[in-house]
Amino acid sequence: MTKKLALVVIDGLTPDVFETAVERRSAPTLAALAEAGTYARALSTFPSLTPVCLASLATGGGPDVHHIPHLVWYHRDERRVVEYGSSFGAMRAAGTRRVIRDAIVEMNAEHLSANAVTVYEALEDAGLVTAAVNVPCYRGRTSHAPTIRGVVRAVNGPRRFFYYNLFESDVTGAPLAVRGRALGSVDAHAAAVGRWLVTRDGFDFLFFYLPDYDFASHALGPTGAHEALARSDRAVGALVEAAGGLDAFLDRYDIVVCSDHGQTHVDRAIRLQELVGEPRAIVTASNRAGMVYLDGDARPVAERVALSDGIGVALFREGNAAYAIRGEELVELAAGDGDWRGRAWHALANPNAGDVIVSAARGAEFTDLGGRHHVGGGSHGSLDDGDSLVPMLVVGDAAPPVSITGVAPLVLKHFGVEAPAYARAA
């Protein structure tokens, strides 16, 4: 009989921090799972930003497949900036109501490509029950009305759907998610919902998302958020305890534990707009990646930006070819490239991407629409290994995927469901 499967994503967790916590047993649940499973380091997508990465985890496709390009981007058809919530300052600059609609509703209803298939859609089409807890990429087959009228409209999610306290397919008694975020309230909410689900054996597949570690790491740096990781570990422990302990849990469930991206320390902030030098260009930047939307040729802008202090790589397309500039080096990109160049190609092939995509140099971060940054703390988004490597732990028969795009195909294969054509080689 096929076991049920849980996917746990701890946002922003780096391999170094995960491995140290397992070795020192400062995260006892993760350590116990590591002893029972197979571990490896894997690659994220580019830009290594949460909406892009979670869309890849949910669909098994890169940005060229799912069409989510960044935390903030320019919608060419609607001639407006889309902001998913880089910071409170960025939300105010873009319009708070508009940001809430884009991040909670439109990302799934409109921006996520219709040609991408989420794990919830594929599994529920096969007659299985899926669940998602606080996952921003949630598109499914079941309509859910919000718990508070007038904030957003109804959305289509998995059968069992919990998005903070705004969408609740079932009454679980979970506490408010957004009260006391710095103290781990979102992960505590997830733990309560997860405990309710496991106690009732309420799913075949669960996507269990824990964002509080990333929140703390932005403020304290990727090596300074140990208390937040301990809280995330307790949230995973709530699933295990609800099943009656580790052995009982693993009798019923296989589990994948990973993060969506890494993080690196940042010590300086850059206004990408000032480096572009094109008054009519539209620049959308946040964390350690930026997009430049142009009316004219992209190469001159990419060349100018690439030579600027704080820039690691500038990417652009010219006809059917894609290129990267690192300093004065010009590199042609191809979809089949196995290193950073392949991830760069997939980012450029996204129809919603900028004409130029910029990856920050180590230690640098781009200010967002509200002028905010994380200098002194941690950030992510670039092609740098520190932003791009993630821990990948699998407890079950499958081998750890080499990329987060391999997680959705692993999940579908576990249940005997064929993956979409774009994901079969992941």
* pLDDT tens track for 324-352: 999 889 999 998 888 899 999 999 999 99
We report the CATH number of the domain holding residue 117 as 3.40.720.10
- Number of C-beta neighbours around residue 418 at 10 A: 12
Domain that residue 324 falls in: 268-377
User: Is 183 found in the same domain as 52?
Assistant: yes
User: Is 190 found in the same domain as 142?
Assistant: yes
**Which distant-in-sequence residues (6+ apart) come within 8 Å of 119 by Cβ?**
58, 59, 60, 130, 205, 207, 408, 411, 412
Q: Is residue 102 part of a domain?
A: no
**Which distant-in-sequence residues (6+ apart) come within 8 Å of 329 by Cβ?**
none
Residue by residue, DSSP assigns 154-195 as -EEE-SEEEETTTEESS---PPPSSTTGGGTHHHHHHHHHHH
User: Is 147 found in the same domain as 171?
Assistant: yes
Q: Is residue 75 part of a domain?
A: no
Please report which helix (H) or strand (E) contains residue 285, including its range. Answer: strand 282-286
- Has residue 390 got a pLDDT over 80? yes
User: Is 53 found in the same domain as 123?
Assistant: yes
User: Is 171 found in the same domain as 36?
Assistant: yes
pLDDT computed for residue 263 by the predictor:
97
Q: Is residue 98 part of a domain?
A: no
Q: Is residue 289 part of a domain?
A: yes
User: Is 222 found in the same domain as 152?
Assistant: yes
Q: How confident is the model at residue 424 (pLDDT cuts 50, 70, 90)?
A: confident
User: Is 344 found in the same domain as 204?
Assistant: no
User: Is 235 found in the same domain as 300?
Assistant: no
pLDDT digit string (tens) for 202-232?
A: 999 999 999 999 999 999 999 999 999 999 9
Mean of pLDDT values over 49-67 = 98
Mean of pLDDT values over 276-294 = 96
234: left (phi over 0), alpha (psi -120 to 50) or beta: alpha
Q: How confident is the model at residue 237 (pLDDT cuts 50, 70, 90)?
A: very high
pTM for this predicted structure: 0.97
User: Is 211 found in the same domain as 121?
Assistant: yes
Q: Is residue 78 part of a domain?
A: no
- Number of C-beta neighbours around residue 1 at 10 A: 3
Q: Is residue 83 part of a domain?
A: no
Q: Is residue 323 part of a domain?
A: yes
Calculate what percentage of the chain has a pLDDT beyond 90: 93
Mean of pLDDT values over 252-264 = 98
We report the CATH number of the domain holding residue 282 as 3.30.1360.110
- Has residue 183 got a pLDDT over 80? no
User: Is 175 found in the same domain as 126?
Assistant: yes
163 contacts 102 by C-beta, under 8 angstroms: no
- Number of structural domains the chain divides into: 2
pLDDT computed for residue 401 by the predictor:
97
Q: Is residue 81 part of a domain?
A: no
- Has residue 105 got a pLDDT over 60? yes
The phi and psi torsions of 95 (rounded to 5 degrees) equal: 105, 110
pLDDT computed for residue 115 by the predictor:
97
Nearest to 121 by CA among 241, 308, 112, 360: 112
User: Is 172 found in the same domain as 55?
Assistant: yes
The phi and psi torsions of 299 (rounded to 5 degrees) equal: -55, -45
User: Is 122 found in the same domain as 259?
Assistant: yes
